[in-house]
Amino acid sequence: MEVMKEVLDKEVVDRDGREMGRVDGILLDYQTGQPPRLKALLIGPTALGDRLHPRLGGFVRALEKRFGLDRDRPAQIDFAEIKDFEHKVRLRIRIGETAVEAVEQRLRALWLRLPGSR
Amino acid sequence: MRKIFNLALGVVTSIGGFVEAGSISTSVQAGAEFRFSLLWAVAAATLILAALTEMAGRAAAVGKRSMAAAVRERFGFHFQMVPLGAELVIDLLLLTAELGGAAIAVKLLTGVGFQWWVLPLAMIAWLLLWFGSFSVIEDGVGLLGVVTLSFVVAVWRLHPDPGPIVQGFVPSLPGQDLVRYAFLAISIVGATVSPYLLNFYSSGTIEEKLTQEDLWINRLTAFLGMGFGGVVSIGCLVTAAIVFGPHHVKVETYEQAAQMFVPVYGRWGVALFALSLGVGCFGAAVEIALNAGYTFGQAFGWTWGIDKKRRDVSRFVAAFTVVLLLAAAIATTGLDPLMITQISVALTVVIMPLVVLPFLVIMNEAEHVGAHTSGPVGNGLLAVLTILGALMALVVIPLEILGG
């Protein structure tokens, strides 16, 4: 549980140091008779919404679905992929292996139509 | 040499960034209604702002985190929602007020209704944010802001008796209108210590890549820059006190306020006031919009930065674009910009503890600022002042609304 406090809300970077967002939620694995086990990090506004209120999470989820941005979101990153979490949470994977950039990419397509975006 | 140049530039741009809708309107009203007796409030507010911006810059230079990022990491997202939400509401109101103020300035110069100028001005602000780098935005807007020194020159040209002015720096109670006096004192603090300035300043420290070795630059820029900015506000108050004070004028519009330059600068007076107001408000509008991008980006962990390619910071660009559009839409409805300014600066004092107290906690922790923590005396004083200010605001604002 101490680890949970330690990583929640921290900045996450991929193996190349690219910013992936913040730890918006944590997925726990409950097995009867055993203490809960940390399963995965969650990155994405739905996880953040769920933390405040399930309804808000549901609203964000509906919004993502409406814009076709709900695939593999929020991104679930297995705890085994964490390299270290001293200053930031460093992962062993690349950002491209997850869906954390879906909104960024959608907006990028929009901005790329304007001069001066490159 | 380069560092000295940067320092000078930082100081000059702070003067430009200091003067905007809030500081001009509150100083003019205070001077017109209470002559010099609220000068102490301007001086105190300036000191508080300088102390806070110095801390914001120090935390960013040492911890490499801006304020919004540090607050989320230290207190978690649940807690952060409160100051973040409050700050965003105030920022939106203030941005609306600045766009409105800049539009009124163009109206003073052209005679064409202010609502027509809001969208074009918002568009120019957006283009500056879209094409500009941090130094173009910061230095360009800041250098233009030198025109606001006309408030200081005005005092010099009016040759006032220094005695009563000096007395104004000693806090005193007025013989009448205590509620109005307290309301204006609170508004002066709210107009000066804008929450957006703190996050903007800490983000700027990261954009300019200042490090621990540059802490002296940060300290000098904060105190000299904000100090000179305060001098401009004082100039504004003193000019209003000399021109409007004897006639007991209550200034309720910017058009009325512009008249204060007529006895000083003659037929150029209104135009010069309009330029000072316009440049001050426009510069603040650009900074507030940019800060919205910073705040969202840092709180949610998006890639952010005005010096990065726009395609690499799409959500950050979307954030400042949406906030600018929202504020422009509200300002275009024709709501009185001066009224919006008054509401936002008064509310700023109410929410101040929410923004300042978590920040002071961070400034005390070695994890965030290394060996550069703030002393307990300064921190304690700032904490007490913000809490007292908020409590006073909670009493005075309803009284002012009921009475006014």
Reported ipTM: 0.93
- pLDDT score of B26 more than 80: yes
Contact B354, B389 (CB under 8 A): no
Distance from the A21 Cα atom to the nearest Cα atom in chain B, whole angstroms: 4
Mean of pLDDT values over B297-308: 93
Q: What is the pLDDT of residues B365-388, one digit of tens each?
A: 877 888 888 888 888 999 999 999
Using CB atoms, which residue from A11, A22, A116 is nearest to B310?
A116
pLDDT digits (tens, 9 = 90+) for B197-213: 889 989 988 988 888 88
CATH topology of domain A2-111: SH3 type barrels. (2.30.30)
Q: What single string gives the DSSP state of each residue in B31-69?
A: HHHHTTTTHHHHHHHHHHHHHHHHHHHHHHHHH---HHH
Q: How confident is the model at residue B279 (pLDDT cuts 50, 70, 90)?
A: very high
Confidence of residue B404 (pLDDT cuts 50, 70, 90): low
Query: Of B72, B78, B317, which has the smallest distance from its Cβ to A51's Cβ?
Result: B78
A108:B311 CB<8 A: yes
pLDDT of residue B213: 86
CB contact under 8 A, A107 and B301: no
Is residue B39 within 8 A of residue B26, CB to CB? The reply is no
> CA of B321: which chain A residue's CA is closest?
A111
> Chain B partners of A107 at a C-beta cutoff of 8 Å?
314-315, 317-318
Q: What tokens appear for B12 in the block?
A: 């000059």
Task: Report chain A residues whose CB lies below 8 A from the CB of B318.
Answer: 107
Interface of B with A (CB under 8 A): 69, 72-73, 76-78, 81, 130-131, 300-303, 309-311, 314-315, 317-318
Tell me what pLDDT residue B364 has: 87
Report d(CA B210, CA A42) in Å as an integer: 33
Omega of the bond prior to A74 within 30 degrees of 0, cis?
yes
Cβ-nearest to B309 among A11, A107, A118: A118
Question: Average pLDDT of B322-328?
Answer: 98
- Residue B397 token pair: 């604002």
Query: What number is the average pLDDT over the span B153-180?
Result: 94
Q: What is the pLDDT of residue B12?
A: 73
The pLDDT assigned to B306 comes to 93
- Give the model confidence (pLDDT) of B47-79 as tens digits: 999 999 999 999 999 988 888 899 999 999 999
Distance CA B298, CA B290 (A): 12
Using pLDDT thresholds of 50, 70 and 90, give the confidence band for residue B16: low
In this prediction, residues B19-42 reach a mean pLDDT of: 95
Report the C-alpha gap between B287 and B299 in whole angstroms: 18
How close does chain B come to A66, measured CA to CA in Å?
A: 18
Asked if A45 is an interface residue toward chain B (Cβ–Cβ < 8 A), one would say yes
Give the burial class of A32: count Cβ atoms within 10 A of its Cβ; 0-12 exposed, 13-18 middle, 19 or more buried. exposed
pTM of the model as a whole? 0.94
Cβ pairs bridging A and B (under 8 Å): 58
Question: Which residues of chain A carry a pLDDT beneath 50?
Answer: none
Strand arrangement, sheet containing A25-29: A25-29, A37-43, A75-78
Of B69, B77, B303, the CB nearest to A48: B77
- Residue of A10, A20, A107, A114 best to disrupt the B interface, most CBs of B under 10 A: A107
Contact call for A111 and B73, based on CB within 8 A: no
CA-nearest residue to A86 within chain B is B367
Q: Measured between alpha carbons, how far apart are the two ends of chain B, in Å?
A: 54
Taking a C-beta distance cutoff of 8 angstroms, is the pair B145, B273 a contact? Answer: no
Residue B168 C-alpha, separation from nearest chain A C-alpha, in angstroms: 48
- Chain B residue numbers touching A111 (CB-CB < 8 A): 310-311, 314, 317
Task: For residue B53, give the nearest of B292, B209, B208, B223 by alpha carbon.
Answer: B223
pLDDT at B1: 65
Domains of chain B: 2-403 (1.20.1740.10)
Best to test chain A binding among B74, B75, B77 (most A CBs inside 10 Å):
B77
Q: What is the pLDDT of residue A36?
A: 83
Pairing of strands A11-13, A89-91: parallel
Least confident of B133-147, B169-183, B223-237, B340-354: B133-147
Residue A101 touches partner B, C-beta closer than 8 Å? no
Residues of B in contact with A16 (CB under 8 A): none
* pLDDT, tens digit, 9 for 90 and up, residues B228-259: 899 999 999 999 999 999 998 899 999 999 99
**Closest chain B residue by Cα to residue A6:** B73
What angle do the packed helices B115-131 and B67-110 form, to 10 degrees? 130
Distance of CA B39 to the CA centre of its chain: 17
Q: Which of B65, B66, B73 to mutate to test the interface with A (most CBs of A within 10 A)?
A: B73
